[in-house]
Structure 1
């Protein structure tokens, strides 16, 4: 015997198929690693460090051998030593590169004048431009270290110093198959300005075999003072030797290139020779070959940086595209929604002659004992004549008995063996006595005016179905309030837009009205998908009927109260929507109303409900990325701007619904927590859809959040074809207590 489709199996279900779990975990791990690699390669944290303290107190404890010595400091031994450049000897040094624009121009000038230089490279720049390191060596110049992310080493821990140098050395080894022992710390100055903290960093680096090369002739090209000033600043005084500080990256270096082309001939004319710092002071040659294993490890590191850079660049462009599309959609949706609101509220608007004919209301119910009484009593209290058909779909909690015990007029109970919600709805349609049919979930209550307002659009003979305004009833908990925001900002704004564009994809199961002949023409409610309401609405749109949204017809529905319940509900909605889209995919190629629905409704769902939401987590990922590796202030400003735009949109949406906006203080938190759950739901639905897994109905646990108070029993005039009890003039007022 087949198990009831409504019932949830007792065994513990996996959240994802095992293959899906493995794929997601591996993908997330790889992606996180690539982001970390790229973040380190592009990191801006610490680049703009505070200038070093060069006051006399700061230099206390630094031996005279350093402060009175030369720019080459060897701290590899027990006591640090320094060396000066010989007279008439120049070492040209370039910091902050390599740069794909300026480094090749500098190398061209050096080649033309046949002089060497030493390029102190930033590891993150070198990792992205390893070919420039090879060009430097091919031109006869040397490569030294300038750390990986350009921090102030005098303020860094020993661990940070070791990491900065190791990572930069790894890149050099991978690009050249060589190592370097020459180091220039960022933000360093001349030897007489070395502080105690700076000397500590020199000593820490010296323990790893590095020799620190400062400068004693600063061209100040970083100020861009003009070519003449750079040439003048770069010349040592009185024929002494010097280590000249220049830059081949970090901004516009056109003045540096031009000045270099003048400086070299002028110094050569004065009898200067050009060499590298270690050769000038008698140290071993730099850039020595390394073992094949070290070269391979460095090559792998450079490869990872390259792959990470491509991935992040692609994702950045995707994020830009997603951001532009989402903002444009948001603006257009709000404009159209406001237009819809104004059209429906302009003086004289009418669907046609008042619709007064009685309505059949179908309530499919499976184990709805917590809410069924409130639901039925709210329907009986309707100001519009109705018959209520409660289809008990094999309940085991006495749902049908509760309804029968109410002994309300115009209420019928139809019992059937459990067959699922579509079967229950089809049973209700078969038992309905009237042409106009309203479908309502068993956890929903109507206001007295809801049915009458819901069926008024049927005065237009082209209307085949009407979507009502579903609202969250209990808003006491955080999860419920988030859903309330989502209903107002998302679902109801969307329905206004779909109404204007005539491509409504879903009449909600909580509140919808249909012509009986339309339902019969499309074959009733199908059980092909988990979203039977979406499937039915799409079938009606494809058959040429118009589906509209009636904002004044309000229904109050119980929302999931816990995250697991919310997960199950949204998973069913998301997966069922994908099933329905696939089922009706041919509408895209059809003509007439069906083609309009396919090319507008289905296309919108595919792009903005499936594809772009899969990319939307990029916003959150890049928020973390920016906080960790870029400028945190700029990142927070950008994120706050996005939140401000969404807040403005939310205020407009809440005004359209005449809802109080006080709850919107939860919107930023919703973006951080609630939205992540929706991403996970969509990803799981996609994995399930790709895997071709068919799911059964997932029933939510009801908590009975719908309470009504009926001051008097409501009885409506009996339709001519109904042999029920005589009419009564008693009036009824319905109060939805849970709305408070």
Structure 2
């Protein structure tokens, strides 16, 4: 049976013809912010899924930004509280933009939270958005107008330290900077192993993964750009995917959340690519990623679990690509929902 790794070697990422065809129909650049009046914005329905754990410091601003989207059509917002110990659940339950708010009975990790949120969606496209990601007002329309059954639309993030945002209100008076994302401007360390591949650089690299791979086109067929490959470009801080495709592969692997931090989105990306999806960046879809007050401490805790989640990822890559798991996924999420608290 063909492994997921072998499937990735067979898949190109030649999305240029798709983006150019869209531009010809829309009369708009692929990477331009999208007017709310564009007719194509009504083509796909969108559901926003937000996994949330202890993001009470910024969730109100994140939800306010969703409420202020200039998208003219209805979209869902589903928040899954991963057993937070702060006021995250109360904020989600009380905000008018939230369609559904669910609370897990114990902390299960972002992968499980996203799976449960996905099971509750009705939109054709699922936008995975972190609970600390603040979106400019055009982003939902950018995604709704461009989404298809065969595309993974990748957005970007501009990280802000807590002292620079203090909860996020007023931040969107600024403009997030595309170059702040490591997938766009990358200065890797020299003399120590890189996180993903373990490669050790002996000289500095002036990296521009997005530009140097021609908007990820050159990452097809399993190609790499030093420490980056196509699955690793799929970051669920801000990414839109076809719901049907996610359900068919069985959603996110929940084991990542039990082990620690990271790699569940990379694995999702690998599975979707193996299923025939094209990974296409949206340079205009950049959000502010709002750090918590204890960001340094949290980062160290996350990095401590990275070797274990990375090891699981490489193990799964050697196994067959998942497919035909819709029924099992739905059953598992139905069972999980029975023990959750419905907040809204």
1:433 aligns with 2:166: no
Q: CA RMSD for the aligned pairs?
A: 3.7
1:518 aligns with 2:235: no
CA contact (8 A) 1:361 1:389 kept: yes
Matches within 5 A, 1:324-723: 349=29, 354-356=40-42, 357-384=44-71, 385-406=74-95, 408-418=96-106, 419-459=108-148, 461-463=149-151, 465-474=152-161, 484=180, 486=182, 488-490=184-186, 493-495=208-210, 497=213, 499-501=216-218, 503=220, 504-506=230-232, 507-529=234-256, 530-559=262-291, 563-572=296-305, 576-585=309-318
Deviation readout 1:160-194 (Å, 9 max, x if unpaired):
xxxxxxxxxxxxxxxxxxxxxxxxxxxxxxxxxxx
Distance 1:411 1:551 in 2: 28
Match of 1:240 in 2: none
Distance 2:113 2:273 in 1: 23
Distance 2:61 2:115 in 1: 23
CA contact (8 A) 1:438 1:511 kept: yes
Q: Secondary structure at the match of 1:368?
A: coil
CA contact (8 A) 2:23 2:30 kept: no
Match of 2:202 in 1: none
Q: Secondary structure at the match of 1:395?
A: coil
CA shift in 2, pair 1:544/1:564, >3 Å: same
Specify the structure having the higher radius of gyration (Cα): 1
CA contact (8 A) 2:118 2:243 kept: yes
CA shift in 2, pair 1:396/1:349, >3 Å: closer
CA shift in 2, pair 1:366/1:562, >3 Å: closer
Shift of 1:435: 1.2
Distance 1:411 1:361 in 2: 10
CA contact (8 A) 2:184 2:209 kept: no
User: Tell me, which stretches of 5 or more residues in structure 2 are unaligned?
Assistant: 1-15, 32-37, 165-176, 188-206, 221-229, 257-261, 322-343
Distance 1:414 1:449 in 2: 27
Give aligned pairs, total.
Answer: 243
CA contact (8 A) 2:183 2:210 kept: no
CA contact (8 A) 1:364 1:421 kept: yes
CA shift in 2, pair 1:434/1:466, >3 Å: same
Q: Secondary structure at the match of 1:379?
A: helix
Deviation readout 1:306-353 (Å, 9 max, x if unpaired):
xxxxxxxxxxxxxxxxxxxxxxxxxxxxxxxxx9xx989998655997
Matches within 5 A, 1:73-222: none
Greater fraction helix: 1
Q: Secondary structure at the match of 2:48?
A: strand
Q: Secondary structure at the match of 1:401?
A: helix
User: Tell me, which stretches of 5 or more residues in structure 1 are unaligned?
Assistant: 1-338, 591-723, 725-740
Distance 2:240 2:89 in 1: 23
Shift of 1:421: 1.5
Distance 2:91 2:98 in 1: 15
CA shift in 2, pair 1:429/1:563, >3 Å: closer
Shift of 1:578: 4.6
TM-score (norm 2): 0.60
CA shift in 2, pair 1:581/1:345, >3 Å: farther
CA contact (8 A) 1:367 1:399 kept: yes
